[in-house]
Chain A
Protein backbone atom coordinates (compact mmCIF):
# COMPACT_ATOMS: atom_id res chain seq x y z
CA UNK A 1 0.00 0.00 0.00
CA UNK A 2 2.84 2.30 0.92
CA UNK A 3 4.54 1.66 -2.41
CA UNK A 4 1.30 2.23 -4.26
CA UNK A 5 0.73 5.51 -2.44
CA UNK A 6 4.23 6.72 -3.20
CA UNK A 7 3.82 5.71 -6.81
CA UNK A 8 0.50 7.51 -7.02
CA UNK A 9 1.86 10.70 -5.49
CA UNK A 10 4.89 10.60 -7.77
CA UNK A 11 2.69 10.13 -10.83
CA UNK A 12 0.35 12.94 -9.86
CA UNK A 13 3.24 15.28 -9.20
CA UNK A 14 4.82 14.40 -12.51
CA UNK A 15 1.59 14.90 -14.42
CA UNK A 16 0.86 18.10 -12.57
CA UNK A 17 3.86 19.61 -14.24
CA UNK A 18 6.23 20.13 -11.38
CA UNK A 19 9.02 20.47 -13.88
CA UNK A 20 9.64 23.41 -16.14
CA UNK A 21 6.77 23.91 -18.49
CA UNK A 22 7.54 24.32 -22.17
CA UNK A 23 6.07 27.51 -23.55
CA UNK A 24 3.84 25.71 -26.02
CA UNK A 25 2.12 23.61 -23.40
CA UNK A 26 -0.90 24.51 -21.38
CA UNK A 27 -4.26 25.62 -22.59
CA UNK A 28 -4.62 26.57 -26.20
CA UNK A 29 -4.04 30.28 -26.35
CA UNK A 30 -2.05 30.97 -29.46
CA UNK A 31 -1.53 34.21 -31.21
CA UNK A 32 -4.55 34.98 -33.28
CA UNK A 33 -2.62 35.40 -36.48
CA UNK A 34 -1.94 31.73 -36.86
CA UNK A 35 -5.66 31.25 -36.94
CA UNK A 36 -6.98 33.24 -39.83
CA UNK A 37 -9.65 31.27 -41.54
CA UNK A 38 -9.03 32.87 -44.89
CA UNK A 39 -6.08 30.77 -45.80
CA UNK A 40 -3.93 33.86 -45.71
CA UNK A 41 -0.34 33.16 -44.92
CA UNK A 42 0.36 34.75 -41.62
CA UNK A 43 2.89 34.08 -38.91
CA UNK A 44 2.52 31.59 -36.12
CA UNK A 45 2.49 32.18 -32.42
CA UNK A 46 5.92 30.85 -31.70
CA UNK A 47 7.70 33.50 -33.71
CA UNK A 48 9.81 35.81 -31.62
CA UNK A 49 9.03 39.38 -32.66
CA UNK A 50 12.53 40.62 -31.96
CA UNK A 51 13.89 38.61 -34.87
CA UNK A 52 13.63 41.29 -37.47
CA UNK A 53 15.49 42.88 -40.30
CA UNK A 54 18.84 41.27 -39.64
CA UNK A 55 17.73 37.90 -40.84
CA UNK A 56 14.59 38.49 -42.81
CA UNK A 57 13.38 39.91 -46.09
CA UNK A 58 12.65 43.62 -46.09
CA UNK A 59 10.16 45.39 -48.30
CA UNK A 60 10.81 49.05 -49.01
CA UNK A 61 8.17 51.60 -49.90
CA UNK A 62 9.23 55.18 -50.60
CA UNK A 63 12.46 54.52 -48.76
CA UNK A 64 10.68 53.17 -45.72
CA UNK A 65 11.95 49.76 -44.72
CA UNK A 66 9.33 47.19 -43.67
CA UNK A 67 11.09 44.14 -42.26
CA UNK A 68 9.07 41.11 -41.28
CA UNK A 69 8.48 40.78 -37.51
CA UNK A 70 9.50 44.42 -36.97
CA UNK A 71 7.42 46.50 -34.61
CA UNK A 72 4.66 47.91 -36.74
CA UNK A 73 3.76 51.21 -35.10
CA UNK A 74 6.81 53.29 -36.12
CA UNK A 75 6.70 51.89 -39.64
CA UNK A 76 3.00 52.61 -40.06
CA UNK A 77 3.58 56.11 -38.76
CA UNK A 78 6.15 56.70 -41.49
CA UNK A 79 3.91 55.20 -44.15
CA UNK A 80 1.16 57.66 -43.29
CA UNK A 81 -2.58 57.22 -43.24
CA UNK A 82 -3.65 54.10 -45.12
CA UNK A 83 -6.44 54.17 -47.67
CA UNK A 84 -8.32 51.79 -45.43
CA UNK A 85 -7.87 49.75 -42.31
CA UNK A 86 -9.43 46.41 -41.46
CA UNK A 87 -9.16 44.37 -38.34
CA UNK A 88 -10.46 40.94 -37.64
CA UNK A 89 -10.48 38.59 -34.76
CA UNK A 90 -9.92 34.97 -35.65
CA UNK A 91 -12.65 32.59 -34.55
CA UNK A 92 -12.27 31.50 -30.98
CA UNK A 93 -8.95 33.17 -30.34
CA UNK A 94 -7.94 36.47 -28.78
CA UNK A 95 -5.91 39.13 -30.54
CA UNK A 96 -6.53 40.98 -33.73
CA UNK A 97 -5.28 40.67 -37.27
CA UNK A 98 -4.78 44.19 -38.61
CA UNK A 99 -4.61 45.02 -42.27
CA UNK A 100 -3.52 48.43 -43.57
CA UNK A 101 -4.27 49.07 -47.21
CA UNK A 102 -2.07 51.45 -49.18
CA UNK A 103 -2.48 52.15 -52.87
CA UNK A 104 -0.14 49.44 -54.14
CA UNK A 105 0.35 47.13 -51.20
CA UNK A 106 -1.28 45.88 -48.02
CA UNK A 107 0.50 45.57 -44.70
CA UNK A 108 -0.66 42.88 -42.29
CA UNK A 109 0.21 43.16 -38.62
CA UNK A 110 -0.10 40.70 -35.80
CA UNK A 111 -0.44 41.45 -32.12
CA UNK A 112 1.72 39.93 -29.45
CA UNK A 113 1.64 41.04 -25.84
CA UNK A 114 -0.13 44.22 -26.81
CA UNK A 115 2.40 45.23 -29.47
CA UNK A 116 1.83 45.01 -33.22
CA UNK A 117 4.43 43.46 -35.49
CA UNK A 118 4.68 43.19 -39.26
CA UNK A 119 3.20 39.91 -40.41
CA UNK A 120 3.08 40.27 -44.14
CA UNK A 121 3.19 42.66 -47.05
CA UNK A 122 1.34 41.89 -50.26
CA UNK A 123 2.02 43.82 -53.46
CA UNK A 124 -0.96 44.57 -55.67
CA UNK A 125 0.41 46.40 -58.68
CA UNK A 126 3.62 46.98 -60.60
CA UNK A 127 4.26 50.49 -59.32
CA UNK A 128 6.06 48.93 -56.39
CA UNK A 129 8.93 46.48 -56.55
CA UNK A 130 10.84 44.24 -54.22
CA UNK A 131 14.08 45.65 -52.91
CA UNK A 132 15.85 43.59 -55.56
CA UNK A 133 13.72 45.08 -58.32
CA UNK A 134 11.10 42.42 -59.09
CA UNK A 135 7.58 43.64 -59.83
CA UNK A 136 4.30 42.05 -60.73
CA UNK A 137 4.18 40.90 -64.37
CA UNK A 138 7.93 40.23 -64.48
CA UNK A 139 9.05 36.91 -65.88
CA UNK A 140 10.19 33.90 -63.93
CA UNK A 141 13.70 34.49 -65.20
CA UNK A 142 13.64 37.96 -63.62
CA UNK A 143 12.83 36.42 -60.27
CA UNK A 144 15.61 33.85 -60.58
CA UNK A 145 18.03 36.51 -61.72
CA UNK A 146 17.24 38.57 -58.62
CA UNK A 147 16.98 35.80 -56.03
CA UNK A 148 18.71 32.77 -57.48
CA UNK A 149 17.44 29.26 -57.95
CA UNK A 150 17.31 28.21 -54.30
CA UNK A 151 13.55 28.30 -54.01
CA UNK A 152 10.95 25.76 -53.12
CA UNK A 153 8.21 25.30 -55.64
CA UNK A 154 4.73 23.93 -55.41
CA UNK A 155 2.51 24.40 -58.44
CA UNK A 156 2.62 28.12 -59.23
CA UNK A 157 4.14 29.11 -55.92
CA UNK A 158 7.85 29.89 -55.63
CA UNK A 159 9.14 30.49 -52.13
CA UNK A 160 12.46 31.96 -51.01
CA UNK A 161 13.38 31.62 -47.34
CA UNK A 162 15.53 34.01 -45.40
CA UNK A 163 15.73 33.70 -41.65
CA UNK A 164 12.29 34.13 -40.16
CA UNK A 165 10.74 35.34 -43.37
CA UNK A 166 9.71 34.24 -46.81
CA UNK A 167 9.34 35.95 -50.12
CA UNK A 168 6.61 34.24 -52.10
CA UNK A 169 5.92 34.62 -55.80
CA UNK A 170 2.98 33.24 -57.69
CA UNK A 171 4.10 32.75 -61.28
CA UNK A 172 1.51 31.85 -63.89
CA UNK A 173 2.30 31.45 -67.57
CA UNK A 174 5.79 32.79 -66.95
CA UNK A 175 4.42 35.95 -65.36
CA UNK A 176 4.61 37.04 -61.74
CA UNK A 177 1.02 37.49 -60.56
CA UNK A 178 1.55 37.81 -56.84
CA UNK A 179 4.35 38.93 -54.52
CA UNK A 180 4.11 38.49 -50.80
CA UNK A 181 6.54 39.04 -47.95
CA UNK A 182 5.74 36.83 -45.03
CA UNK A 183 6.90 36.58 -41.44
CA UNK A 184 7.14 32.87 -40.85
CA UNK A 185 7.36 30.41 -38.02
Chain B
Protein backbone atom coordinates (compact mmCIF):
# COMPACT_ATOMS: atom_id res chain seq x y z
CA UNK B 1 0.00 0.00 0.00
CA UNK B 2 2.77 2.37 0.99
CA UNK B 3 4.70 1.38 -2.10
CA UNK B 4 1.69 2.03 -4.31
CA UNK B 5 1.24 5.50 -2.81
CA UNK B 6 4.90 6.20 -3.28
CA UNK B 7 4.76 5.23 -6.95
CA UNK B 8 1.66 7.35 -7.47
CA UNK B 9 3.35 10.27 -5.77
CA UNK B 10 6.47 9.96 -7.90
CA UNK B 11 4.40 9.68 -11.08
CA UNK B 12 2.40 12.74 -10.09
CA UNK B 13 5.53 14.76 -9.46
CA UNK B 14 7.10 13.64 -12.73
CA UNK B 15 3.90 14.50 -14.55
CA UNK B 16 3.74 17.89 -12.90
CA UNK B 17 7.27 18.89 -13.69
CA UNK B 18 7.14 17.30 -17.13
CA UNK B 19 4.02 19.29 -17.94
CA UNK B 20 5.52 22.50 -16.65
CA UNK B 21 8.67 21.90 -18.65
CA UNK B 22 6.68 21.26 -21.81
CA UNK B 23 4.54 24.29 -21.19
CA UNK B 24 7.59 26.45 -20.70
CA UNK B 25 9.17 25.22 -23.91
CA UNK B 26 5.97 25.87 -25.78
CA UNK B 27 5.35 29.34 -24.41
CA UNK B 28 8.82 30.79 -24.63
CA UNK B 29 9.37 32.95 -27.73
CA UNK B 30 11.22 30.95 -30.39
CA UNK B 31 12.82 33.80 -32.35
CA UNK B 32 12.98 31.78 -35.56
CA UNK B 33 11.27 34.22 -37.90
CA UNK B 34 10.94 37.98 -37.89
CA UNK B 35 12.90 38.88 -34.77
CA UNK B 36 15.46 36.09 -34.91
CA UNK B 37 18.15 37.78 -32.84
CA UNK B 38 16.88 36.14 -29.67
CA UNK B 39 18.30 32.85 -30.98
CA UNK B 40 21.86 34.08 -31.33
CA UNK B 41 23.21 33.20 -27.90
CA UNK B 42 21.71 29.72 -27.73
CA UNK B 43 23.07 28.61 -31.08
CA UNK B 44 26.64 28.60 -29.75
CA UNK B 45 26.08 25.50 -27.63
CA UNK B 46 25.14 23.43 -30.66
CA UNK B 47 28.51 23.86 -32.31
CA UNK B 48 30.30 20.57 -31.92
CA UNK B 49 33.84 21.98 -31.96
CA UNK B 50 34.46 25.10 -29.96
CA UNK B 51 38.19 25.78 -29.94
CA UNK B 52 37.94 28.99 -31.91
CA UNK B 53 40.89 31.34 -32.45
CA UNK B 54 38.79 34.45 -32.07
CA UNK B 55 35.67 35.25 -30.08
CA UNK B 56 33.74 38.42 -30.82
CA UNK B 57 31.67 39.98 -28.05
CA UNK B 58 29.18 42.81 -28.21
CA UNK B 59 25.94 44.02 -29.67
CA UNK B 60 24.59 44.18 -33.21
CA UNK B 61 27.80 45.90 -34.25
CA UNK B 62 29.54 42.53 -34.07
CA UNK B 63 26.88 40.02 -35.09
CA UNK B 64 25.90 42.00 -38.19
CA UNK B 65 29.26 43.39 -39.24
CA UNK B 66 31.85 40.62 -39.24
CA UNK B 67 31.60 37.47 -41.35
CA UNK B 68 33.36 34.48 -39.69
CA UNK B 69 33.04 32.55 -42.94
CA UNK B 70 35.16 35.18 -44.70
CA UNK B 71 37.72 35.05 -41.89
CA UNK B 72 37.97 31.33 -42.54
CA UNK B 73 37.97 31.50 -46.32
CA UNK B 74 40.62 34.21 -46.54
CA UNK B 75 42.83 33.49 -43.55
CA UNK B 76 41.89 30.11 -42.12
CA UNK B 77 40.93 31.86 -38.88
CA UNK B 78 38.29 30.10 -36.82
CA UNK B 79 35.96 32.49 -35.03
CA UNK B 80 32.62 32.77 -33.34
CA UNK B 81 30.51 35.81 -32.54
CA UNK B 82 28.90 35.70 -29.12
CA UNK B 83 26.85 38.78 -29.80
CA UNK B 84 23.26 39.70 -29.09
CA UNK B 85 20.95 42.68 -29.46
CA UNK B 86 21.99 45.56 -27.20
CA UNK B 87 24.35 43.28 -25.33
CA UNK B 88 25.47 45.24 -22.29
CA UNK B 89 29.07 45.09 -21.17
CA UNK B 90 28.39 43.00 -18.09
CA UNK B 91 26.56 40.53 -20.30
CA UNK B 92 29.58 40.42 -22.61
CA UNK B 93 31.82 39.85 -19.61
CA UNK B 94 29.76 36.96 -18.29
CA UNK B 95 29.44 35.48 -21.77
CA UNK B 96 33.21 35.43 -21.97
CA UNK B 97 33.43 33.82 -18.54
CA UNK B 98 31.03 31.19 -19.77
CA UNK B 99 32.82 30.77 -23.08
CA UNK B 100 36.01 30.02 -21.17
CA UNK B 101 34.31 26.95 -19.75
CA UNK B 102 34.31 25.54 -23.27
CA UNK B 103 37.40 26.99 -24.88
CA UNK B 104 40.26 29.43 -24.59
CA UNK B 105 40.44 31.67 -27.66
CA UNK B 106 43.67 33.41 -28.61
CA UNK B 107 41.94 36.72 -29.26
CA UNK B 108 38.77 38.34 -27.93
CA UNK B 109 37.34 41.24 -29.91
CA UNK B 110 35.01 43.51 -27.97
CA UNK B 111 32.93 46.19 -29.71
CA UNK B 112 32.76 49.22 -27.44
CA UNK B 113 29.45 50.84 -28.43
CA UNK B 114 27.76 49.40 -25.34
CA UNK B 115 30.10 51.39 -23.08
CA UNK B 116 27.48 54.14 -23.32
CA UNK B 117 25.18 52.07 -21.08
CA UNK B 118 26.00 52.13 -17.41
CA UNK B 119 22.91 50.36 -16.18
CA UNK B 120 20.32 47.84 -17.34
CA UNK B 121 18.16 49.16 -20.16
CA UNK B 122 15.31 46.97 -21.27
CA UNK B 123 13.93 43.61 -20.27
CA UNK B 124 13.23 42.56 -23.85
CA UNK B 125 16.90 42.92 -24.74
CA UNK B 126 17.98 41.23 -21.53
CA UNK B 127 15.83 38.28 -22.50
CA UNK B 128 17.51 37.94 -25.88
CA UNK B 129 20.86 37.50 -24.20
CA UNK B 130 19.99 35.80 -20.94
CA UNK B 131 17.26 33.36 -21.94
CA UNK B 132 19.57 31.88 -24.53
CA UNK B 133 22.30 31.10 -21.99
CA UNK B 134 22.53 27.66 -20.46
CA UNK B 135 21.80 27.53 -16.77
CA UNK B 136 24.95 28.04 -14.72
CA UNK B 137 26.22 30.19 -11.85
CA UNK B 138 27.58 32.53 -14.51
CA UNK B 139 24.13 32.98 -15.99
CA UNK B 140 22.83 33.81 -12.51
CA UNK B 141 25.47 36.49 -12.12
CA UNK B 142 24.63 37.92 -15.52
CA UNK B 143 20.93 38.00 -14.66
CA UNK B 144 21.63 39.75 -11.38
CA UNK B 145 23.75 42.35 -13.12
CA UNK B 146 21.11 42.89 -15.81
CA UNK B 147 17.81 42.97 -13.95
CA UNK B 148 15.82 46.17 -13.96
CA UNK B 149 14.05 47.52 -10.92
CA UNK B 150 10.98 45.41 -10.22
CA UNK B 151 12.28 42.36 -12.00
CA UNK B 152 12.86 39.07 -10.19
CA UNK B 153 15.54 36.45 -10.60
CA UNK B 154 12.94 33.70 -10.62
CA UNK B 155 11.31 35.16 -13.74
CA UNK B 156 14.54 34.56 -15.63
CA UNK B 157 15.19 31.15 -14.12
CA UNK B 158 11.63 29.97 -14.78
CA UNK B 159 10.61 31.87 -17.91
CA UNK B 160 7.20 30.21 -17.76
CA UNK B 161 6.35 32.73 -15.06
CA UNK B 162 7.14 35.53 -17.50
CA UNK B 163 5.66 34.07 -20.64
CA UNK B 164 2.66 32.18 -19.27
CA UNK B 165 0.26 34.61 -20.87
CA UNK B 166 1.73 34.09 -24.33
CA UNK B 167 -0.65 31.26 -25.03
CA UNK B 168 -2.83 33.39 -27.31
CA UNK B 169 0.17 34.43 -29.41
CA UNK B 170 1.32 30.89 -30.20
CA UNK B 171 1.84 30.12 -33.85
CA UNK B 172 3.23 27.32 -35.96
CA UNK B 173 6.82 28.26 -35.11
CA UNK B 174 6.15 27.52 -31.45
CA UNK B 175 5.18 23.95 -32.23
CA UNK B 176 7.67 23.14 -34.97
CA UNK B 177 10.53 24.49 -32.88
CA UNK B 178 9.40 23.03 -29.59
CA UNK B 179 12.48 20.89 -28.99
CA UNK B 180 15.02 22.05 -31.49
CA UNK B 181 15.40 25.19 -33.52
CA UNK B 182 16.62 25.43 -37.06
CA UNK B 183 20.06 26.92 -37.54
CA UNK B 184 19.78 30.59 -38.40
CA UNK B 185 23.26 32.09 -38.05
CA UNK B 186 26.79 31.61 -39.23
CA UNK B 187 28.96 31.25 -36.13
CA UNK B 188 26.92 34.00 -34.57
CA UNK B 189 26.78 36.14 -37.71
CA UNK B 190 23.37 37.39 -38.79
CA UNK B 191 23.26 37.60 -42.55
CA UNK B 192 21.40 40.25 -44.52
CA UNK B 193 21.84 40.45 -48.28
CA UNK B 194 19.57 43.42 -48.93
CA UNK B 195 20.84 46.92 -49.64
CA UNK B 196 19.63 50.27 -48.39
CA UNK B 197 22.17 53.02 -49.05
CA UNK B 198 23.15 55.38 -46.28
CA UNK B 199 22.09 58.96 -46.67
CA UNK B 200 22.44 61.91 -44.39
CA UNK B 201 22.42 60.79 -40.78
CA UNK B 202 20.71 62.87 -38.10
CA UNK B 203 22.65 65.48 -36.21
CA UNK B 204 24.09 64.18 -32.97
CA UNK B 205 22.34 65.67 -29.97
CA UNK B 206 24.56 67.20 -27.33
CA UNK B 207 24.87 65.01 -24.23
CA UNK B 208 24.89 66.25 -20.66
CA UNK B 209 27.86 64.03 -19.88
CA UNK B 210 30.17 62.23 -22.26
CA UNK B 211 31.98 60.17 -19.67
CA UNK B 212 31.27 56.46 -19.68
CA UNK B 213 29.86 55.29 -16.38
CA UNK B 214 31.77 53.66 -13.55
CA UNK B 215 29.82 50.42 -13.83
CA UNK B 216 30.62 50.10 -17.52
CA UNK B 217 34.27 50.81 -16.80
CA UNK B 218 34.39 48.29 -13.97
CA UNK B 219 33.21 45.55 -16.33
CA UNK B 220 35.67 46.66 -18.97
CA UNK B 221 38.34 46.33 -16.29
CA UNK B 222 37.09 42.85 -15.47
CA UNK B 223 37.03 41.90 -19.14
CA UNK B 224 40.60 43.12 -19.48
CA UNK B 225 41.69 41.21 -16.37
CA UNK B 226 39.92 38.03 -17.43
CA UNK B 227 41.68 38.10 -20.77
CA UNK B 228 45.07 38.84 -19.22
CA UNK B 229 44.63 36.09 -16.65
CA UNK B 230 43.91 33.60 -19.41
CA UNK B 231 46.60 34.78 -21.80
CA UNK B 232 44.03 36.11 -24.28
CA UNK B 233 44.68 39.18 -26.42
CA UNK B 234 41.82 41.65 -26.02
CA UNK B 235 41.12 43.95 -28.95
CA UNK B 236 38.66 46.81 -28.57
CA UNK B 237 36.90 47.91 -31.73
CA UNK B 238 34.25 50.33 -32.85
CA UNK B 239 32.46 48.93 -35.86
CA UNK B 240 32.26 51.06 -38.99
CA UNK B 241 28.61 51.98 -38.89
CA UNK B 242 27.63 55.61 -38.88
CA UNK B 243 24.50 55.63 -36.77
CA UNK B 244 24.00 55.69 -33.82
CA UNK B 245 26.52 58.44 -33.43
CA UNK B 246 29.92 57.58 -31.96
CA UNK B 247 31.07 60.76 -30.23
CA UNK B 248 34.68 61.95 -30.41
CA UNK B 249 34.64 62.21 -26.62
CA UNK B 250 33.78 58.52 -26.41
CA UNK B 251 36.49 57.67 -28.89
CA UNK B 252 39.08 59.55 -26.87
CA UNK B 253 38.11 57.66 -23.73
CA UNK B 254 38.57 54.34 -25.45
CA UNK B 255 41.92 55.42 -26.86
CA UNK B 256 43.03 56.46 -23.41
CA UNK B 257 41.76 53.27 -21.82
CA UNK B 258 43.53 51.10 -24.39
CA UNK B 259 46.77 53.02 -23.92
CA UNK B 260 46.56 52.76 -20.13
CA UNK B 261 45.91 49.01 -20.24
CA UNK B 262 48.24 48.09 -23.06
CA UNK B 263 45.39 47.09 -25.34
CA UNK B 264 44.70 47.69 -29.00
CA UNK B 265 41.72 49.87 -29.82
CA UNK B 266 40.67 50.28 -33.43
CA UNK B 267 37.97 52.68 -34.47
CA UNK B 268 37.01 51.03 -37.73
CA UNK B 269 35.03 54.08 -38.73
CA UNK B 270 38.41 55.56 -39.56
CA UNK B 271 39.35 52.55 -41.68
CA UNK B 272 36.31 52.31 -43.90
CA UNK B 273 38.12 53.39 -47.04
CA UNK B 274 40.98 50.98 -46.39
CA UNK B 275 38.45 48.21 -45.88
CA UNK B 276 36.71 49.18 -49.11
CA UNK B 277 33.38 49.67 -47.40
CA UNK B 278 30.93 51.75 -49.40
CA UNK B 279 27.80 52.61 -47.48
CA UNK B 280 25.92 53.03 -50.74
CA UNK B 281 26.12 49.29 -51.30
CA UNK B 282 27.36 47.67 -48.10
CA UNK B 283 24.60 48.40 -45.61
CA UNK B 284 21.05 47.10 -45.49
CA UNK B 285 19.62 49.82 -43.26
CA UNK B 286 21.16 53.12 -44.27
CA UNK B 287 24.32 52.81 -42.23
CA UNK B 288 23.25 51.24 -38.95
CA UNK B 289 24.55 47.81 -39.88
CA UNK B 290 26.52 46.32 -42.72
CA UNK B 291 24.95 43.83 -45.07
CA UNK B 292 26.72 40.63 -46.04
CA UNK B 293 28.85 42.41 -48.62
CA UNK B 294 30.04 44.90 -46.05
CA UNK B 295 30.57 42.21 -43.41
CA UNK B 296 32.72 40.26 -45.84
CA UNK B 297 34.81 43.32 -46.68
CA UNK B 298 35.24 44.14 -43.00
CA UNK B 299 36.20 40.57 -42.14
CA UNK B 300 38.65 40.57 -45.00
CA UNK B 301 40.27 43.77 -43.74
CA UNK B 302 40.18 42.96 -40.05
CA UNK B 303 41.26 39.37 -40.63
CA UNK B 304 44.56 40.57 -42.10
CA UNK B 305 45.16 42.56 -38.93
CA UNK B 306 44.31 39.57 -36.73
CA UNK B 307 46.46 37.16 -38.68
CA UNK B 308 49.47 39.50 -38.86
CA UNK B 309 49.33 40.92 -35.36
CA UNK B 310 48.59 37.79 -33.40
CA UNK B 311 50.15 35.21 -35.69
CA UNK B 312 46.96 33.20 -35.90
CA UNK B 313 47.46 29.86 -37.55
CA UNK B 314 45.91 29.21 -40.93
CA UNK B 315 43.79 26.10 -40.30
CA UNK B 316 42.74 25.56 -43.88
CA UNK B 317 45.13 22.63 -44.23
CA UNK B 318 43.63 20.99 -41.16
CA UNK B 319 41.30 18.31 -42.51
CA UNK B 320 39.00 18.25 -39.50
CA UNK B 321 38.53 21.99 -39.47
CA UNK B 322 38.20 22.10 -43.25
CA UNK B 323 35.40 19.57 -43.14
CA UNK B 324 33.58 21.49 -40.45
CA UNK B 325 33.96 24.82 -42.21
CA UNK B 326 32.96 23.46 -45.58
CA UNK B 327 29.55 22.66 -44.13
CA UNK B 328 29.37 26.18 -42.70
CA UNK B 329 30.33 27.65 -46.08
CA UNK B 330 27.68 25.58 -47.82
CA UNK B 331 25.02 26.80 -45.40
CA UNK B 332 26.27 30.38 -45.76
CA UNK B 333 26.19 30.26 -49.56
CA UNK B 334 22.77 28.64 -49.56
CA UNK B 335 21.33 31.32 -47.32
CA UNK B 336 22.90 34.11 -49.34
CA UNK B 337 21.45 32.70 -52.55
CA UNK B 338 18.11 32.13 -50.88
CA UNK B 339 18.02 35.77 -49.74
CA UNK B 340 18.98 36.98 -53.21
CA UNK B 341 16.18 34.87 -54.66
CA UNK B 342 13.71 36.36 -52.21
CA UNK B 343 14.87 39.87 -53.00
CA UNK B 344 14.43 39.19 -56.69
CA UNK B 345 11.00 37.71 -56.17
CA UNK B 346 9.47 39.97 -53.52
CA UNK B 347 11.73 42.98 -53.36
CA UNK B 348 12.38 42.35 -49.67
CA UNK B 349 13.37 39.49 -47.40
CA UNK B 350 10.15 37.73 -46.72
CA UNK B 351 11.25 34.76 -44.69
CA UNK B 352 14.30 36.26 -43.06
CA UNK B 353 12.89 39.51 -41.85
CA UNK B 354 9.62 41.34 -41.76
CA UNK B 355 9.01 43.80 -44.55
CA UNK B 356 10.26 47.25 -43.70
Q: Answer whether residue B78 sits at the interface, using C-beta atoms and an 8 A cutoff.
A: no
How far is the CB of A172 from the nearest CB of chain B, in Å? 8
- In the bound assembly, the distance between CA atoms of A101 and B12 in angstroms comes to 64
Cβ contacts B164-180/A at 8 Å (1 or 0 each): 11111100000000000
Interface residue tally for chain B (C-beta within 8 Å): 55
- In the bound assembly, the distance between CA atoms of A87 and B163 in angstroms comes to 31
- In the bound assembly, the distance between CA atoms of A32 and B305 in angstroms comes to 36
- In the bound assembly, the distance between CA atoms of A22 and B286 in angstroms comes to 36
B207-265 CB contacts (< 8 Å) to partner A: 207-209, 243-245
Interface-lining segment among B90-98, B116-124, B134-142, B317-325: B116-124
B20-44 CB contacts (< 8 Å) to partner A: 20, 23, 29, 34-35, 37-38
Q: Answer whether residue B85 sits at the interface, using C-beta atoms and an 8 A cutoff.
A: yes
Look across to chain A and name the residue whose beta carbon is closest to the beta carbon of B123.
Answer: A28
How far is the CB of B6 from the nearest CB of chain A, in Å? 12
Q: Please, which residues of chain A bring their CB within 8 A of the CB of B207? A: 39, 170, 178
Q: Answer whether residue B101 sits at the interface, using C-beta atoms and an 8 A cutoff.
A: no
Q: Answer whether residue B200 sits at the interface, using C-beta atoms and an 8 A cutoff.
A: yes
How far is the CB of B305 from the nearest CB of chain A, in Å? 25
**Given A26-B166, A37-B86, also A84-B208 (CB < 8 A):** no
**Given A16-B23, A91-B37, A92-B37, also A37-B59 (CB < 8 A):** yes
Q: Is A25 a contact of B286 with CB atoms below 8 Å?
A: no
Q: Please, which residues of chain B bring their CB within 8 A of the CB of A21? A: 165, 168
Interface-lining segment among A58-66, A71-79, A149-157: A149-157
- In the bound assembly, the distance between CA atoms of A84 and B15 in angstroms comes to 61
Q: Is B127 a contact of A28 with CB atoms below 8 Å?
A: yes
Q: Is B202 a contact of A86 with CB atoms below 8 Å?
A: yes
Q: Is A93 a contact of B35 with CB atoms below 8 Å?
A: yes
- In the bound assembly, the distance between CA atoms of A89 and B286 in angstroms comes to 10
Q: Is A15 a contact of B20 with CB atoms below 8 Å?
A: yes
Look across to chain A and name the residue whose beta carbon is closest to the beta carbon of B211.
Answer: A155
**Given A93-B35, A96-B356, A154-B208, also A35-B125 (CB < 8 A):** yes
Look across to chain A and name the residue whose beta carbon is closest to the beta carbon of B245.
Answer: A38
A22-75 CB contacts (< 8 Å) to partner B: 22, 25-30, 34-40
Q: Answer whether residue B344 sits at the interface, using C-beta atoms and an 8 A cutoff.
A: no
**Given A17-B167, A28-B29, A156-B208, also A12-B19 (CB < 8 A):** yes
Q: Is B23 a contact of A12 with CB atoms below 8 Å?
A: yes
Interface residue tally for chain A (C-beta within 8 Å): 48
Q: Is A27 a contact of B201 with CB atoms below 8 Å?
A: no
Q: Answer whether residue B285 sits at the interface, using C-beta atoms and an 8 A cutoff.
A: yes
Q: Please, which residues of chain B bring their CB within 8 A of the CB of A92? A: 35, 37-38, 60, 85-86, 125, 128
Q: Is A178 a contact of B169 with CB atoms below 8 Å?
A: no
Q: Please, which residues of chain B bring their CB within 8 A of the CB of A12? A: 19-20, 23
Look across to chain B and name the residue whose beta carbon is closest to the beta carbon of A88.
Answer: B288
Q: Which among B12, B34, B160 has the highest number of chain A CB atoms within 10 Å? A: B12
Q: Please, which residues of chain B bring their CB within 8 A of the CB of A28? A: 29, 38, 123-124, 127-128
Cβ contacts B260-279/A at 8 Å (1 or 0 each): 00000000000000000000
Q: Please, which residues of chain B bring their CB within 8 A of the CB of A17? A: 164-168
Q: Please, which residues of chain A bring their CB within 8 A of the CB of B164? A: 15-17, 25
Q: Answer whether residue B8 sits at the interface, using C-beta atoms and an 8 A cutoff.
A: yes
Look across to chain A and name the residue whose beta carbon is closest to the beta carbon of B161.
Answer: A15
**Given A8-B12, A35-B122, A39-B244, also A86-B37 (CB < 8 A):** no
Which of A8, A34, A93 lies in contact with B15, CB distance below 8 A?
A: A8
Q: Is A26 a contact of B199 with CB atoms below 8 Å?
A: no
Look across to chain A and name the residue whose beta carbon is closest to the beta carbon of B284.
Answer: A89
Look across to chain A and name the residue whose beta carbon is closest to the beta carbon of B60.
Answer: A91
Q: Answer whether residue B113 sits at the interface, using C-beta atoms and an 8 A cutoff.
A: yes
Q: Is A27 a contact of B169 with CB atoms below 8 Å?
A: yes
Q: Is A88 a contact of B16 with CB atoms below 8 Å?
A: no
- Can you list 29 pairs linking A and B with CB atoms under 8 Å apart? A5-B12, A7-B16, A16-B167, A17-B165, A25-B166, A27-B166, A28-B124, A34-B122, A37-B86, A38-B244, A38-B245, A39-B117, A39-B207, A86-B286, A88-B243, A88-B286, A89-B285, A91-B289, A92-B38, A92-B128, A99-B202, A101-B202, A101-B203, A122-B205, A156-B209, A157-B208, A157-B209, A170-B207, A177-B206
What are the 6 closest A-B residue pairs judged by CB atoms, nearest first? A38-B244, A28-B124, A17-B165, A157-B208, A92-B85, A92-B37
A26-B169, A92-B86, A180-B205 given; name 16 further pairs at CB < 8 Å: A4-B8, A5-B12, A8-B16, A11-B20, A15-B20, A15-B160, A15-B161, A30-B124, A34-B122, A38-B244, A40-B244, A84-B199, A86-B202, A101-B202, A155-B208, A178-B205
